[in-house]
Amino acid sequence: MRAATITRFGDPSVFETADLPQPRPKAHELLLRIEAAGVNRLDHYIREGGVNPDLTFPHVLGSDAVGLVEDAGDDVAGFAPGDRVIPMPGYPTDPDDVGAEVLATSSSYAIRGLAENGTYAEYMTIPARWTLKAPEGVSSIDLATLPMALITAVRAVKAVGDVKEGNTVLIHAGASGTGSFMVQVAKALGARVAATVRSTAKRDFVESLGADLVVGMEDGALDAVRDWSGGGVDVAVDNLGGPSLARSVDATRPLGLTVLMGNVLGLEATVPVRSVFFPQKRISGTLMGGADDLGWGLEQVRAGTIRPTVDRTYGLNEAAAAHERLAAGNAVGNIVFEVA
Ligand SMILES: NC(=O)c1ccc[n+]([C@@H]2O[C@H](COP(=O)([O-])OP(=O)(O)OC[C@H]3O[C@@H](n4cnc5c(N)ncnc54)[C@H](OP(=O)(O)O)[C@@H]3O)[C@@H](O)[C@H]2O)c1
């Protein structure tokens, strides 16, 4: 099968199109013919070598895909050849961890494409239990934008953020893969949403997603968010990390919650201790999500409450160009490989 592989860590030029053996489904697994595969910032971090230094090469990146069931191993029920399905972008590899209360805290939890080969390929296998039926009426290109960003957004905003109707919510990088879905999840839950953008060119896009207030990221920009929310937002979701964390905490009201879920601006953060415990604020991490989170998000997509945004599509032989675009930060919404 054709796949976009990396044979070493490095810049986007490390991609090579290769012919790899087609995987065969084991018991309880499906073989999927991938129609489209989504690109996430995590893929960029893995390619650079900053996430899994023990990777074996050649490696196929990618956590997101939509595909058609081609074949199944023994003991698979409920799927037929030709079913359009969405594989979970991460899941426990040990069946004993299936019942974990929070999936991504189980010891065998693995994000697809991080160690095991991922989705930048014509075929993949996956345990059938970690596969969801795709909503009808949505194109495979649109569907491929969803899994990682949507599952993360639903868990961050709805489950961990516990956002309710009437809450005020701050979402960083509202034009990013994750941010664009977090804005929409918060709106779907009935919240009033403020979002940040780095460049004014992305302001219209974030407003079109439903954001009530869009501000820049320059010093003092979050003063406008505090004024708008009447003294601080109920929930801030921070996908930037680094110096953004202290700014997010500062933008929340007393007893407010900051949900931390990304590190675009850095892996280290300094937060004034009293700015947290005097006003009794909370900071909570979140990683990925469960099948119920993705299922809720897909239902919103089917109903039209949440819409995918495709930035640009590429062929598998254009992986370097796709990652260059991601690295340059020019994408609005999600980059997708059109595979079949
Ligand atoms: N916790 C989880 O489960 C989880 C899941 C998925 C992703 N993540 C993490 O979340 C983060 C975002 O992921 P993503 O897929 O949404 O990324 P993405 O689509 O590549 O977007 C990154 C965004 O970062 C912003 N940005 C880049 N450089 C910046 C700077 N110097 N100052 C301010 N903003 C800057 C850009 O904002 P503009 O659009 O305004 O230029 C861009 O939209 C990553 O760290 C990723 O690893 C975590």
Site to probe by mutation for ligand 1, drawn from 105, 109, 182, 198 as the one with most ligand atoms within 8 Å of Cβ, is: 198
In ligand 1, the atom with minimum distance to the C-alpha of 241 is 45
The answer to whether 34 and 22 are in contact (CB under 8 A) is no
pLDDT at 108: 95
Q: 103: Cβ below 6 Å to ligand 1?
A: no
The answer to whether 297 and 154 are in contact (CB under 8 A) is yes
> Which pTM value belongs to this model?
0.96
pLDDT at 218: 85
- In angstroms, what is the span from residue 40 Cα to ligand 1's centroid? 9
Per-residue CA distances from 24 to 63, 123, 124 (Å): 19, 9, 8
Q: Is 99 a residue whose pLDDT tops 90?
A: no
Q: Is 51 a residue whose pLDDT tops 90?
A: yes
- The Cα diameter of the chain in Å comes to 59
Tell me what the pLDDT averaged over the chain comes to. 96
Least confident of 4-8, 100-104, 261-265, 266-270: 100-104
Q: Compute the distance between CA of residue 103 and CA of residue 117 in angstroms, rounded to an integer.
A: 20
- In angstroms, what is the span from residue 326 Cα to ligand 1's centroid? 10
Instruction: Count CA atoms within 13 Å of residue 224 on its CB side.
Output: 14
Q: 263: Cβ below 6 Å to ligand 1?
A: yes
CA angle 23, 28, 130 (to 5 degrees): 85
Q: How far is CA 75 from the centre of its chain?
A: 31
- In angstroms, what is the span from residue 199 Cα to ligand 1's centroid? 14
The average pLDDT across 43-63 equals 97
Tokens of 313: 């599509």
Q: Which residues of 3-29 are buried (b: 16+ CB within 10 A; e: fewer)?
A: bbbbeebeebebbeebeeebbebeebb
Site to probe by mutation for ligand 1, drawn from 264, 265, 284, 325 as the one with most ligand atoms within 8 Å of Cβ, is: 264
For residue 330, name the pLDDT band (cuts at 50, 70, 90). Answer: confident
State pLDDT tens for residues 121-133: 999 999 999 999 9
pLDDT at 329: 86
pLDDT at 236: 98
Tokens of 104: 């991504």
The average pLDDT across 283-298 equals 97
Compute how many other C-beta atoms are within 10 angstroms of the C-beta atom of residue 96. Answer: 10
**Which pairs from 275-281 meet CB under 8 Å and 24+ separation?**
275/246, 275/249, 275/250, 276/249, 279/253, 279/254, 279/255, 280/254, 280/255, 281/249, 281/252, 281/254, 281/255, 281/256, 281/257
The average pLDDT across 77-105 equals 94
pLDDT at 60: 98
Closest CA to 178 of 199, 203, 147: 147
Q: Is 152 helix (H, G, I), strand (E, B) or coil?
A: helix
For residue 222, name the pLDDT band (cuts at 50, 70, 90). Answer: very high
State pLDDT tens for residues 235-289: 999 999 999 999 999 999 999 999 999 999 999 999 999 999 999 999 999 999 9
Q: Compute the distance between CA of residue 92 and CA of residue 107 in angstroms, rounded to an integer.
A: 8
For residue 42, name the pLDDT band (cuts at 50, 70, 90). Answer: very high
In ligand 1, the atom with minimum distance to the C-alpha of 42 is 47
pLDDT > 90: what percent of the chain?
Answer: 94
Q: Is 201 a residue whose pLDDT tops 90?
A: no
State pLDDT tens for residues 148-199: 999 999 999 999 999 999 999 999 999 999 999 999 999 999 999 999 999 8
Residue found under tokens 């991080």: 114
Per-residue CA distances from 240 to 150, 178, 213, 216, 251 (Å): 17, 11, 19, 14, 14
Compute how many other C-beta atoms are within 10 angstroms of the C-beta atom of residue 79. Answer: 15
95 or 299, higher pLDDT: 299
DSSP track, 74-131:
TT--S--TT-EEEE-SEEESSGGGTT-SSGGGSTTEEETTTSS--SSBSEEEEEGGGE
pLDDT at 110: 96
Go through the domains of the chain in sequence order and give each one's CATH number: 2-146+308-338 (3.90.180.10), 150-285 (3.90.180.10)
